[in-house]
Amino acid sequence: MKRNDLKQQFGAYLLLIFGSLLFALGDVKFVNPYLLAPGGTYGLANVLNTVWPWKISLYALCMDVPLLLVGTWILGPRFGIKTVISTILIFAFTWVIETYWGYMPLIHNGLFTNAAELEANFKNTLVQVPHSENFFVPDYFLNTLVAGGIYGLAIGMIFKSGATSGGSDIISMIIHKYTKISLGTLVLIVDSCITLTSFIAFGQLRLPIYSILLIAIESKVIDLVVEGVKSYKTAFIVTDKIEEVRNYILQDIKRGGTCFSGKGLYQGVERKMIYVTLDRSDLVKLKSHLRAIDPNAFVNVVESAEIMGNGFKALPVE
């Protein structure tokens, strides 16, 4: 057990390190050059970095540390050591990348070092590299897709390691404590306000739109990293052929389930119901077989966000 625990902790800290490095790379090389602000303290730091030149990492640190302290004071010590380590690692990696490699984007359609040589009508399509004399022809859509993937992979790895995002989410947690507005709604409001700062600062409507697209892609990738690509469905089956359906699930699909009784609202007749969770392919088999067993069966299939326990994902270890 001790060896397994040690391996799990080692794997968790590897995820934390690589996730923090990926986040810093995505922020400095994909988000900042395109003047995007996809929520969070680093989103706001990107805007401040362009308007009042100072390092992104320093702006973010000046926000993250007070937020962690205030959050711990108001909400209690719910921010574990991994969240603190993640905050430090992201700061360090961001500082190194922006100090030694600068803000030159990795995705663009051309790079120019002398804007005076360009036609006036073409100059309007260029973006200046932050704190540089260089200009580049942007590819907003491709950059947003890649940035969303990198952000999602990075934050997913950080979440999977057992750390939390901290940052601006702490503001949402504090407001939630006193207003009882749902945390999801508050996170959306706070991140939207941060996203809109790019429009206020630079006057380009496309910037918050691309930032929102980045957030949408990021959230999907986070789900894939944390939950995995396997999708499960939960089926509630009401049938008069309960034994035949039960035997098919146990013997052919080789899955367990739960059988319980219920009384119909209309006639008040007591009937059996099966509750079973399956992956997509097994559900297709079950539906096809149900039609042959009992064409009059009633089946309600719902999406299962997360399944833990015997036969599925293991329960989390503290």
What average pLDDT does range 115-129 have in this prediction?
Answer: 63
Q: Is 35 left (phi over 0), alpha (psi -120 to 50) or beta?
A: left
Angle between helices 81-100 and 56-75 (to 10 degrees): 170
* Between residues 50 and 74, the one the model is more confident about: 50
Alpha carbon 89 to its chain centroid, in Å, reads: 19
Take residue 238 and report the two structure tokens written for it. 């009401």
56 and 35 housed in the same domain: yes
CB atoms within 10 A of CB 136: 20
182 and 291 housed in the same domain: no
206 and 269 housed in the same domain: no
Q: Report residue 113's pLDDT band, with 50, 70 and 90 as the boundaries.
A: low
243 and 185 housed in the same domain: no
**What's the pLDDT score for residue 269?**
77
Residue 220 lies in a domain: yes
pLDDT digits (tens, 9 = 90+) for 302-317: 887 667 666 666 665 5
The maximal CA–CA distance of the chain, rounded, in angstroms, is 84
The predicted model scores a pTM of 0.76
Q: Report residue 112's pLDDT band, with 50, 70 and 90 as the boundaries.
A: low
**What's the pLDDT score for residue 18?**
95
136 and 278 housed in the same domain: no
49 and 68 housed in the same domain: yes
Report the chain's terminal Cα–Cα distance, integer Å. 13
221 and 249 housed in the same domain: no
What is the secondary structure of 261-272 as a DSSP string?
A: EEE-TTT--EEE
% pLDDT > 70, the chain:
86
Residue 309 lies in a domain: no
Q: Which of 16-20, 126-130, 222-226 holds the top average pLDDT?
A: 16-20
Take residue 212 and report the two structure tokens written for it. 């929102």
**What's the pLDDT score for residue 211?**
93
215 and 239 housed in the same domain: no
Residue 312 lies in a domain: no
pLDDT digits (tens, 9 = 90+) for 9-43: 888 899 999 999 999 999 999 999 999 999 889 99
Cα–Cα distance, 102 to 278 (Å, whole number):
49
What average pLDDT does range 40-63 have in this prediction?
Answer: 93
142 and 203 housed in the same domain: yes
Q: Is the pLDDT of residue 102 over 70?
A: yes
201 and 242 housed in the same domain: no
Three-state DSSP class for residue 168: coil
In this structure, of 47-56, 78-87, 96-105, 199-208, the range with the lowest mean pLDDT score is 78-87
Number of helices followed by number of strands (H, E) in the chain? 11, 7
**What's the pLDDT score for residue 115?**
56
Count of domains for the chain: 2
Owning domain of residue 219: 2-227
CB atoms within 10 A of CB 205: 10
Mean pLDDT estimate for the chain: 83
Residue 311 lies in a domain: no
**Residue 260, H or E segment:** strand 258-263
What is the secondary structure of 148-159 as a DSSP string?
A: HHHHHHHHHHHH
Among candidate residues 208, 227, 246, the one where a domain is terminated: 227
pLDDT digits (tens, 9 = 90+) for 251-301: 888 888 888 887 777 777 787 888 888 877 788 888 888 888 888 888 888
Quick one: DSSP state of residue 115? G
Q: Is the pLDDT of residue 216 over 80?
A: yes
Residue appearing with tokens 């909400």: 75
**What's the pLDDT score for residue 190?**
85
Question: CATH number of the domain that 282 lies in?
Answer: 3.30.70.120
Take residue 103 and report the two structure tokens written for it. 């803000």
Among candidate residues 227, 254, 272, the one where a domain is terminated: 227
Q: Report residue 98's pLDDT band, with 50, 70 and 90 as the boundaries.
A: very high
Take residue 149 and report the two structure tokens written for it. 């993937």
**What's the pLDDT score for residue 1?**
47
232-238/298-304 β-pairing: antiparallel
**What's the pLDDT score for residue 232?**
78
Q: Report residue 184's pLDDT band, with 50, 70 and 90 as the boundaries.
A: low
Among candidate residues 227, 261, 291, the one where a domain is terminated: 227
